[in-house]
Amino acid sequence: MNNDEQERLLLATLEQTQEQLLTILERLVGFHTESPPARNTNELQLYLKETLEKLDFTVETAPFYRQDTLLWATKEGTDPEHYQSLIWNGHVDVAALESLANWQTNPFELVKKGSRLFGRGVSDMKGSVACVIWLVQTFHQLKIHLPGTLLLQSVVGEEAGEAGTKKLLESGQTADFAIVGDTSDLQFQGQGGVITGWIQLKSPETFHDGNRMKMVHTGGGLFGANMIEKMTILIQALQTLERHWGIMKSYPGFEHGTNTINPAYIEGGIHPAFVPNNCRLWITVHFYPNESIEQVTSEIEAHILATAKADPWMKENLPTFEWGGESMLVDKGEVFPPLALDPTHPAMLELAKSHEAQTASKPTTTMSTSVSDGGWFGAYDIPAVVYGPGELLQAHSDNESIELDQLLTYSKILGIFLLRWLSTKKTV
C-alpha cells in the first residue's frame, strides 16, 4: 500500500469509527483527576498503560507525587536511525471544580448536546489525549507500521505548575520534533514564560499595636514599621516597572503589555494586637521568549531594592526574594519556560500542509497569553509547537465543552502528519 492509499484508508476509517473516540473520551472524563487536590492520576495512567500495551507500545511509568504517575509509551519505527521521530505530549490532570453548583451536567460524565461534548477536561485536555489514543488504535487496526519512532508522553501536574514534562525530558527523552496537544483551538502556538516569586519583608523586632503611635507620629522615637504598609510601597514599585516593561518591551505575536507582574497573593501579620512584623507577597511574572528567567528576576530585584533603599526603614531591612519552585501545591512556586516557534522547521511545514488539507485554510500562528508544558521543550532545545483542540475560553470553565467536529478534525490532521513525518528521512 503506497502513502496515498494509506492516507485515504486512514481518513475513511476515522470517519467510520467515531464512536470509538467517544468511548475513549467517556472513559477519560470519568476519572476524577482534578488538580488541586491532585494525587489522583494512578488509575487513569494504568488504563492508558494497559490500552497502549495492547497496541504494541513499550510503556514505562515512574512515580511522581503520591498517587500520581508519569507515563511514556514508545512505538519504535522500523528504521529509526534514518527517519524522523516525534514526541506527542499531553497532561491528564484537569482543573479543579470551583463552582460545582453552576454545572448543568455531571462534570465526570461525558454528555453530548447537539454538536458539543460536555465534561471536565474535554477541552483541557482529555479530548486531545482521546484523539491520540484513538489514532494509534486505528493505526494498529490498519497494521500501519512507520519507519520513524513515536513517543507518547502522558504527564501530570501541569495544572498546578508541577513539572512532570520536565522530569521526562531531563531523563533524556528526546525527538526530532514535539507536539504539545494542549488547548490551542487548532492554532500553532508558542508562549512566553512564567515564573512565580515571593517578596518578603521581615522586622527584626515585634511590637504591640499600642506602640504604633511611637512609630508613626512626630517625636515618637521608635524606629519600627508595619510590614504590610511597607509592602504597599513595593507593590506600587512593581506597577511602575510593569508599565515600563509594557512601554519598552515587545515580541512578535504578543499584544503590547503581555509581560505583566501580577501581585497575586499576600500574607502577613500575627493578629490585631500586633504591628505586623512580617509580610510576604506572591507574584506572577510573564516574560517574552527572548528573555531569560535570570534577566527578568534580576530586573525586578534591582528595582525593588532601589525602592527599598529610598525608604528610611527598608534601607536598613531590605526585602528578600524567593523565585520559582516545582509545585504550586508543595512549595508554592512554579516555572514555565517560554517557547519560540520556528515556522520554517520541516515538521511545522508538514503539519501546516496537513492542517490546510483538512480545514481548507492555513493555520493561524499565535503566541499564547497562557502557558503550558510546551516551554519545557524549548528549554531542552527540542523544536516544538503547542497544537491541540479546544478553546481557551472553555479551559477551566463551568460546563466545559468542545465541538465534536474539532476533535475529529484534529485526529485527521494529526494522523496524516504522523504518516508523513515519520516517513520522512532525516537530513544529514
- The enclosing H or E element of 180 equals strand 178-180
Asked whether residue 330 is assigned to any structural domain, the reply reads no
Q: How does pLDDT run across 21-63, given as a tens digit for each residue?
A: 999 999 999 999 999 999 999 999 999 999 999 999 999 999 9
The pLDDT score that the predictor gives to residue 338 is: 97
Q: Is position 20 within any domain?
A: yes
Q: Are residues 197 and 315 in the same domain?
A: yes
Q: What is the reported pTM?
A: 0.94
Same domain, 21 and 155: yes
DSSP one-letter string for 318-346: --EEEE--SBTTTTSB-EE--B---TTSH
For range 329-348, the mean pLDDT? 96
Tens of pLDDT, residues 82-110: 999 999 999 999 999 988 999 999 999 99
Residues 178 and 236 in one domain: no
Is it true that the peptide bond before 37 is cis, omega within 30 degrees of 0? yes
Backbone angles phi, psi at 65, to 5 degrees: -100, 175
> Is residue 395 included in any domain, yes or no?
yes
Q: Please tell me which residue in 7, 68, 93, 242 is annotated as part of the active site.
A: 93
pLDDT at 6 over 90: yes
Residue 93 known to be catalytic: yes
Domain identity same for 49 and 67: yes
Q: Of 341, 406, 412, 427, nearest to 183 (Cα)?
A: 406
Q: Is 158 a catalytic residue?
A: yes
Instruction: Tell me if 173 is assigned to some domain.
Output: yes
Catalytic residue, from 34, 68, 158, 326: name it.
Answer: 158
Q: What is the domain extent for residue 375?
A: 3-191+339-421
Residue 202 confidence class, pLDDT cut points 50, 70, 90: very high
What average pLDDT does the chain have?
Answer: 97
3-state secondary structure of 262: strand
- CATH number assigned to the domain comprising residue 132: 3.40.630.10
pLDDT in the model for residue 98: 86
Q: Do the strands 193-202 and 335-336 form a parallel or antiparallel pair, or are they unpaired?
A: antiparallel
Q: Is the pLDDT of residue 1 over 80?
A: no
DSSP state of 34: E
Name the band, by pLDDT with cuts 50, 70 and 90, for residue 258: very high
For range 151-157, the mean pLDDT: 97
- Distance (Å, rounded) from C-alpha 332 to C-alpha 328? 4
Query: Nearest CA to 147 among 203, 79, 217?
Result: 79
